[in-house]
Structure 1
Amino acid sequence: MHKKKAIAIFIIIAVVINLFGCTQKSEPISKTEYMLGTIATVTLFDSDNENILDKVFQRINEIEQRMSVNIEESDISKLNQNAGKEAVEVHEDVYYVLEMAKKYAQISNGAYEPTIGPLVDLWAIGTEDEKIPEDKEIKIALERIGFNNLQLLGNNKAFLKKEGMKVDLGGIAKGYAADEVNRILTENGVKRAIIDLGGNVYVKGLKEDGSKWRVGIQNPFEVRGNHIGIITLSNKAVVTSGDYERYFEEEGIRYHHILDRNTGYPARNEVAGVSVITDNSMVADALSTALFVLGVDKGLELVESMENVDVIYITKDYKVYISSGIKDNFKLSDEQFTLVKSQEER
């Protein structure tokens, strides 16, 4: 039995600046820290005020301290510890993110599932304890999962109805943090910036020459930095989920970290990677997980029913599917891949 450990890929979308001739009159300033379980980098292109960057990372730290399942005193940990017992009052930030998490769980019919925690713990992918669980273990975990049993009672009070339930905001908290970073930058007069929270990218404003930013979409079959195409954007979030980010292999089968609540196993479909493009990083974060689980057909159908949301799917047979809203903004650059612009063209 052969088991291969994957190297975690934190930055899954490369913002292509130098390659495409973005010339700046002044030197940008940047700060990088390991936060929210990933590498977070914020770069300002029209300000040399490092105090702004300090404010940004203080805010990210606040969010992590309140929402991380790995911090025993976080609001989310307290909510989980009281599952099936009593309601817990959480910070208004946490309550808002729980509301949004439940909203997108409903929209995606559970493809994005904020109470996936028992299953995440069981598989433990990306840790020293990762393993293929036994069927009986998966069955027990699935009985403890269900966003309808996450009750939001008002006055910032939340309750998990079943003992053993566990909220995990790993699929949405980084997006919320990116939105908060963007808010702080705007309030401090920053008009041009790139926010990258472990591949959760937001491109703010325009480049100094007035053109849009060019963002490279990661090739899921190659090492980090190899892109399959470029999308041009301004004031947009791009969030990617892929089966290459965190995984292990056993007997030739890859077990990745994007879990399907319907089966209890990592989602198995034709998708290798999915990138969501929209105005709001938190929305893009939740939808990137949901759309990966849903697959190409159902995912495109959902996206086309929503306003200001677009998607780029990369499948295991080297095809790229894009939603209608970005047909003029995306350019395929890798000849190994075939671009399919609509379901009818498949």
Structure 2
Amino acid sequence: MRKPSQPNFNKLWLQIFEFERKFSRFLPYSELSRFNKTAGLDTVVSPEFHDLFTTSVTMANRTNHLFNPFILPALHRAGYTHSAVDTYKNDYTENYEHRSVTTVNQVKITPKSITIPANTAIDFGGIGKGYLADNLAKLPELKSVDGFWFSIGGDIIGSGVDESGDFWKVAIQDAQNPLHTLKDDTLPQSQQFSIASSGTIVKKFSAQYKHSNTHHIIHPTTLKPATTDILLATIMAPSTCEADVLASCAVLLGSKQAKAFLQNQGINVAILQKDNQEATFLSNKLQGAFA
């Protein structure tokens, strides 16, 4: 199996590093943090910021605002104000809990600038990982390899074959027993795939936050952590960006509405693990996952 040279690996790591430096809300000098400070003003943004923001608007409209990049103030009110990474958890971050939650209908976008309403703030946390994974997969350097696999915080994109010449295999975390996975080969194998999971079992606020044991998926109507019977939603989609957004939307809706929603979105492969130790599948090929 051909492998990329060291400079190619360096370019991959550099793109990941630069993405975090631009779009992390936990870094006070990131482009995102500086943008939120200018809410209400017409603000010139970088081409990558512009593309990520317009992609967020597209996904918000596509999901009827279940996905909402303006949810950040509600996320702060729920207590999620600092990074969960130990080395960064005491760093200074802006707190926007007193700002308002709006929708993407209230933004003004020009070819080089963006204006969001005053007293609002945005976050790319529900879409950024998938967006980055898709962009990494487009790097021309990867044309020289027989296969690749990227996992950006659990959002996965893969193509080609592994070092043994076989299609990549993806096992999914068992929501009832997070240290274990479901049965091997849970998801259908394919030449190229994009997968993301979202749920209420991983990100729980620790004692440093206002409300311990509270998950981070905020419902856009109640503006509080969603009440849902889905512990973990895993989606296979045409792009990792779509999978990232739609997995969280499935959790927000709960199992009774999520299946029809995902099918209407063109999703044919998904696993919705529920709190009653049952699961809903969007593909008959997945029925053996709990065997």
TM-score with structure 2 setting the length: 0.84
Question: Per-residue deviation at 1:103?
Answer: 1.3
Gaps of 5+ in 1: 1-44, 131-136, 336-346
CA RMSD in angstroms comes to: 2.7
Indicate yes or no: 2:99 matched with 1:159: no
Amino acid in structure 1 at the alignment position of 2:220: R
Q: Which residue is equivalent to 1:343? A: none
Matched AA of 2:32: I
C-alpha separation in 2, matches of 1:91 and 1:83:
16
Q: State the partner residue of 2:158.
A: 203
* Cα distance change on mapping 1:309 and 1:46 into 2, 3 Å: farther
Find 1:320's aligned residue among 274, 279, 287. Answer: 279
Partners of 2:171 and 2:183 within 8 A in 1: yes
CA offsets per residue over residues 116-161 of structure 1, 9 Å max, x none?
111122223384999xxxxxx98x65x433222233x221311111
* Residue 265 in structure 1 maps to residue 229 in structure 2: no
User: Pairwise mapping of residues 178-197 of structure 1 onto structure 2 (< 5 A)?
Assistant: 178-184=133-139, 187-197=142-152
Classify 1:304/1:225 alpha carbon distance in 2 versus 1 (closer, same or farther; 3 Å). Answer: same
Gap regions ≥5 residues in structure 2: 90-95
Q: Name the residue aligned to 1:302.
A: 261
Q: Verify: 1:80 aligned to 2:36, yes or no.
A: yes
C-alpha distance in 2, partners of 1:220/1:169?
Answer: 25
The structure-2 alpha-carbon separation of the partners of 1:63 and 1:269, relative to structure 1 and needing over 3 Å to count, comes to same
2:180 maps to 1:221: no
CA apart distance, 1:70: 1.9
SS of equivalent residue, structure 2 residue 151:
strand
Q: 1:122 to 1:302 in 2, by over 3 A?
A: same
Could you tell me whether the CA contact under 8 Å between 1:125 and 1:256 is conserved in 2?
A: no
Contact preservation (8 Å) 1:79, 1:158: no
Secondary structure at the counterpart of residue 168 of structure 1: coil
* Aligned-partner Cα distance in 2 for 1:224–1:314: 15
Report the structure, 1 or 2, having the larger strand content. Answer: 1
- CA separation of 1:154/1:300 partners in 2, compared to 1, >3 Å: closer, same or farther? same
The one of 84, 89, 101 equivalent to 1:144 is: 101
Partner of 2:27: 71
C-alpha displacement at 1:92, in angstroms?
1.1
Q: Structure 1 residues 226 and 310, CA, compared in 2 at 3 Å: closer, same or farther?
A: closer
More deviation in 304-313 or 58-67? 304-313
In structure 2, the CA distance between the partners of 1:277 and 1:186, relative to structure 1 (3 Å rule), is farther
Question: How far, CA to CA, are the matches of 1:73 and 1:154 in structure 2?
Answer: 23
8 Å CA contact 2:130, 2:244 repeated in 1: yes
After the TM superposition, list the runs of 4 or more consecutive aligned residues in structure 1 that deviate by more than 6 angstroms: none
> Quick one: distance in 1 between partners of 2:146 and 2:45?
33
Residues 306, 261 of structure 1: CA spacing in aligned structure 2 closer, same or farther, 3 A cutoff? closer
**Equivalent residue for 1:19?**
none
Matched, 1:238 2:214: no
Change (3 A) 1:149 1:244: same
Q: Does structure 2 retain, via aligned residues, the 8 Å contact 1:111–1:291?
A: no
3-state DSSP of counterpart to 1:66: helix
Residues 302/121 of structure 1: CA separation in 2 closer, same or farther (3 Å cut): same
User: In 2, distance between residues paired with 1:150 and 1:224?
Assistant: 42
Contact 1:231–1:331 under 8 Å retained in 2: no
Q: Mean Cα displacement is larger for which, 216-225 or 111-120?
A: 216-225
Other-structure match for 1:35: none
State how far apart, in whole Å, the 2-side matches of 1:308 and 1:293 are.
Answer: 16
Structure 2 CA distance for partners of 1:246 and 1:189, relative to 1, 3 Å: same
2: CA distance between counterparts of 1:205 and 1:232? 14
Matched, 1:99 2:43: no
Tell me if 1:57 matches 2:13: yes
Q: Decide whether the 8 Å contact of 1:52 with 1:185 is kept in 2.
A: no
CA shift, 1:223, in A, is: 3.1
Partner Cα separation in structure 2 for residue 228 and residue 111 of structure 1: 31
Aligned-partner Cα distance in 2 for 1:149–1:327: 42
For 1:302 and 1:334, the matched residues in 2 are separated by 24
Report the residue type matching 1:144 in the other structure.
Answer: V
Structure 1: how far apart are the matches of 2:200 and 2:172? 15
Larger RCO, structure (CA 8 Å, separation 6 or more): 1
